[in-house]
Chain A
Amino acid sequence: MERRNPGDSTLIGFVLRRLLAAILLVWAAATLVFLLVAAAPGDPFDALREPGASAATAERLRQVFGTSRPFFPRYLDWLADLLQGDLGTSWSYRQPVAVLVRGASLNTLVMAGPALVMQFALGLAAGIAAARSRRPLTDRGISAIAAALYSVPSYCLALPLAWLLAVRLGWLPASQMHSPEAGPLPLRSWLLDTLRHLVLPCVALIVPTAAGIALYVRDQMRAALGRGFVIAARVRGLGRREAELRHALRVTLLPVAALLGLALPGLLGGSVVIEVLFAWPGLGRLAYQAVLARDLPLILGCTCLMSVLVVVGGLAADLAAAALDPRAREAQE
């Protein structure tokens, strides 16, 4: 192997290499799930599962969806279809998987997007405040509250929240994405209605993760504040605020950017329970229903999309780190 000059590793080459690895990763993850589902005992078109279906109908369904064929041709066909962007037809909905998944992932995005932004905004603000505070009581207080909140899983938090805000006070709706009568509403009240439905699941998703981020940021920032260059900046005559926010914070943000990539899988995984709990018609709930219905194409569609998002998240975090920090680029070599 020739010794590469660190200067050779341009950002584009780095991106291309990582992109290739990401595609392989998604393929491998989807294959893993395909294998799992194919190895499972039982038959999705059992006459018992299809209400009112006779044995002949079940056999015909098996023919139509090709489940009676041997494993390898089925796998290769699925792969070929996938490469052409065809995710197949859902067995339980009898609709194209792509259509179902697209609608559901948009709904998930409506919930996860604001949650992601709020998580980092709140986490950073609390963490920085704790690290910078000179009174130990403030620091300890924020840290203790964050540690406690970080320990409450979002689905455990969701129930008391729903009880208080939806059942007891009746301020917010506790399920679905829109009110049943929300269809023909004018745009503004329709948005407001969606927003009201969004609050509970979003808060349940945000709080534990934001608390975790706050703890992490606090530790990182504390370590950064003690570093030589921050003290040097102070010695050079910079104000405390300048030194801490311009110099120490920048070093703190690097590992936090890496956390961003990890936050996405956590958010998607966590949103499965939250979506089921609040009947939010998103990707996690769709995957859950697909699993219950043994709907192989739909399970695979959801899994593929989720692993794409996870891999893209990781990729984005790596790219952010590489863009922010040349050392990370060299470390990839």
Chain B
Amino acid sequence: MRGPRRAVTRSARGGGPWAATGIALLALAGPWVAPYPPDRQEDVAGARLLAPLTRAHALAAGPHRILIVTDLRRTADGWEFNRAGRRQTLAALDLKEEPARRFYLLGTDTLGRDLLSQLLYAARHSIGLAALCVALALVVGVGAGASAGLAGGLWDEILMRGVDVLMAVPRLLVLLVCSALFSPSIPLLVLVLGGTTWTGLARLTRAETLAFRESGLAQAARAAGASAPRLILRHLVPQIAPLIMVFAALRFADTIVLESALSFLGLGVPPPAVSLGDVLASGREALYEAWWVSAAPGLLIAAIVLSVRSAARDLFRLHDPPSLA
């Protein structure tokens, strides 16, 4: 019993699965964890591009006028603070409520929105979208690959040439064409991203199916009268599931990168949905003034990709442990 347990502890030591789970949970819980609404612009001039770890205060200066200020100090006859780079004062009488604390862990963007809240929502969007795409790609890819491998002949030829064609066009270009010409929406994106992701999965499944078809297990099942769908679902899929999961995890990371690239180019899902690429694009606009608006989403994308890939690597080792001690 030593082998499997050692494999599990070894994979845990890698940290990939834990980090991936952590990021996914954080993104799922985004709406409850986020300190502020992601699109709240209280005071564009005052809260614009505040650095990470800024402690600020919100002053209610009027019925519809909120000031976001830093370095707030009470003076004899009111308040003194920094806002938009200038030291200002406000008479105590003008203040309707007590100053409320604002803490911007990752700073704010050009419109004075809290970056952490935006990132949490954006991660939820990007991760959810990528998960849907990979789910679609799994169904199509495994279905196409297994049926091509089992049926062979003309069907196999048609499917595999189709895969070749899809792989011959750069995916980002297909995505660009689709989302620029059709109005981009989440179903469309899932369809197109998933519809270009399944090709590798189909090839892998087909290769595994060809090997499986000759195996004793498949012959025994067929002799016992198993139909083709039963053969695929009950016998083939459990056999290749670990490998498929590894592959799917890798495609998931790719899809995150691709979807963010699309949003970065301004062709992702339309607002109010925010993808990590959208945040990155706003960071590009602010690049001359603030590094953190582009660094934070970039690091988050990298962290997601890294953790998912290392989780996939650990999964692969569990499935196929290295023979060397």
**Interface residues, chain A, with chain B CB atoms under 8 Å away:** 25-26, 28-29, 32-33, 36-37, 40-42, 147-148, 150-153, 155-157, 159-160, 162-163, 167, 226, 265, 268-269, 272-273, 276-277, 287-288, 291-292, 294, 299, 302-303, 306-307, 310-311
Contact = CB atoms under 8 A, between A and B. Distances in A.
Interface stretch (B51-59, B60-68, B224-232, B298-306): B298-306
B169 interface: yes
Contacts, number: 126
Contacts of B305: 151-153
B24 interface: no
B294 to A, nearest CB: 4
Contact of B173 (A25, A276, A294, A306): A306
B223 interface: no
Name the residue in A151, A306, A307 with the highest tally of chain B Cβ atoms < 10 Å from its Cβ. Answer: A151
Contacts of A268: 170
A29 B301 contact: no
Given A28-B165, A37-B177, 16 more contacts: A32-B169, A33-B174, A33-B177, A36-B174, A36-B181, A40-B182, A151-B305, A155-B264, A159-B298, A265-B167, A272-B172, A287-B176, A291-B180, A303-B177, A310-B169, A311-B168
A41 to B, nearest CB: 7
Contact of A40 (B168, B181, B291, B294): B181
A307 B169 contact: yes
Given A153-B302, A159-B298, A302 B181 contact: no
Contact of A276 (B265, B287, B309): B265
Interface string B282-325: 01100110010011011101110110011000000000000010
B169 A156 contact: no
Interface string B236-278: 0000000000000000010001001100110100000000000
B92 interface: no
A288 B267 CA distance: 10
B206 to A, nearest CB: 15
Given A156-B302, A269-B170, A294 B165 contact: no
Contacts of A306: 169-170, 173
A46 B281 CA distance: 29
Contacts of B72: none
A244 B256 CA distance: 38
B164 interface: yes
B306 A291 contact: no
A268 B172 CA distance: 9
16 contacts: A37-B177, A42-B181, A147-B306, A151-B302, A151-B305, A152-B302, A153-B260, A153-B298, A153-B305, A226-B324, A269-B172, A273-B265, A287-B176, A291-B180, A292-B180, A306-B173
B301 A156 contact: yes
A293 B9 CA distance: 54
Contacts of B295: 159-160, 163
A25 B164 contact: yes
B34 interface: no
B280 interface: yes
Contact of A167 (B161, B166, B287): B287
Given A25-B168, A28-B165, A159 B280 contact: yes
B169 A29 contact: yes
B115 to A, nearest CB: 14
